[in-house]
A and B are shown apart, each in its own frame.
Chain A
């Protein structure tokens, strides 16, 4: 089933970490397997890389901690080698890290070089995007990664009921649009031409870290925007024709948040717009978790693509 949520503040900054947490927690019944956040903090000239070196449910063998420590040092040395000067590398959990670096080079080269380290997966990379995802509900994940104080401008999130692939961090949403910095996607639905697109995108050099069909959307949009120079809205409009299946998905970039619904309007979405912010979710209770008052909401129609920019 899955639940998705998005919020964008038109002008101001806000406690988007907490806002997304309460939105997702109110939809826990839609997906108890994992929860994920894509949060946009204030943009800086530094690059934030969120990566993991093992999955949450990997067996903790005798060498686990030492191996991860060795691999973390390897990641740091590779960052230096590729010309990224490290500001700091923080451990978020036993297996997830947040690196802040100064880097102006090719994002794909950097991501590929880091993911060559055993067990390494880059969860997000960008000047303001940070993706946090783990097993458990939204409260647990927020506590684990200390998201309560996270301030920013817009965010999307996802609670997952796994239907197509494993229950692990690699299968959890949101997906970073590798190798395109500051783009992420959450998805509620199923894609039926997944393998068609996966083969096609792999041939043009993209990598997939999971068996999850939703990962396609992020990479698909990224390729449209990076290679073809399309805007987010154009890329999303093309996806309605080219992606088969049932979906409501949200995509975020550094300054925009977009949502698309398939031609059948098979998956729900409730939308609230005001002068200050736009909030949307699979269920209205998620919006009311942030705005605890009587509000007017609408359900977008089939085949609609809506994009809000700051």
Chain B
């Protein structure tokens, strides 16, 4: 295989994982505090090193990544308020564990985008794969077209907005936060959810266990109007709201650490 510039050799760590040792490629063009670099000739690790070098070492707050080429694991763990634009598509596990950045992806993303996002805004212009926004805790994740299955699985906060359709088991085990889906939703919506709210404008194929339709309130209207005006999206005429039916709630048993010793 062709040796990529900047990569010296491949070593293996104790877990047996391949970890190419790479240097920061320093290939960005920087003008007026804005950086741009072409990711096409770079490996995943080099792209991430370049990004981190720009944001953390050089204090750049506006980065454009050209030709990300659907590579996996890009832009993970950026914990800084900044603006990043990806002029293309990302592969699997992109933009995970971020806290703060405002990101635009001009293409699509694969599975598990923004996994465990803490805060920030991510706007994806095209489709997303399954597990979009898995376990996110805050921030806004906006996908302008359709998403795959299990969107917002284990969601613990934040808002996920989907412009198109969503697949099966959307909002599975959701615990907090909001999902706004403009298109149709597959089977098992909100299965085993604990809390939070799901707004669906299209048809719902079937509801999951303990997910029920809820009454609409003025606060819901305010939320929907506000989010759609921020992102300039076409707002469907009406939404249905779904929440947890709380039939499965069994919270009378205390955690072991919460138990008190009672002596009779």
Contact = CB atoms under 8 A, between A and B. Distances in A.
Contacts of B168: 263-265, 301-302
Contacts, number: 62
Interface residues of B, number: 26
Interface stretch (B84-92, B96-104, B232-240): B84-92
Interface in A264-305: 264-265, 268, 270, 283-285, 288, 294, 296-299, 301-302
A270 B148 CA distance: 10
Contacts of A288: 69-70
B92 A283 contact: yes
B48 interface: no
Contacts of B150: 265
A302 B186 contact: yes
B45 to A, nearest CB: 14
B186 A294 contact: no
Given A294-B89, A301-B167, A302-B167, A284 B148 contact: no
A269 to B, nearest CB: 9
Contacts of A263: 168, 187
B75 interface: no
Given A263-B168, A283-B110, A288-B69, A299 B130 contact: yes
A270 B129 CA distance: 8
B126 interface: yes
Contacts of B72: 283, 285
Interface of B: 69-72, 88-89, 91-92, 107-108, 110-111, 126-127, 129-130, 146, 148-150, 165, 167-169, 186-187
A270 B104 CA distance: 21
Contacts of B169: 264
13 contacts: A264-B168, A264-B169, A265-B167, A268-B111, A270-B110, A270-B129, A284-B91, A284-B110, A285-B72, A288-B69, A294-B89, A298-B127, A301-B148
Given A284-B110, A288-B69, A301 B129 contact: no
Interface of A: 263-265, 268, 270, 283-285, 288, 294, 296-299, 301-302
Main secondary structure of the interface of B (DSSP, over half): loop
Contacts of B186: 301-302
Contacts of A265: 130, 148-150, 167-168
B129 A268 contact: yes
A177 to B, nearest CB: 29
Given A297-B108, A302-B186, A283 B91 contact: yes
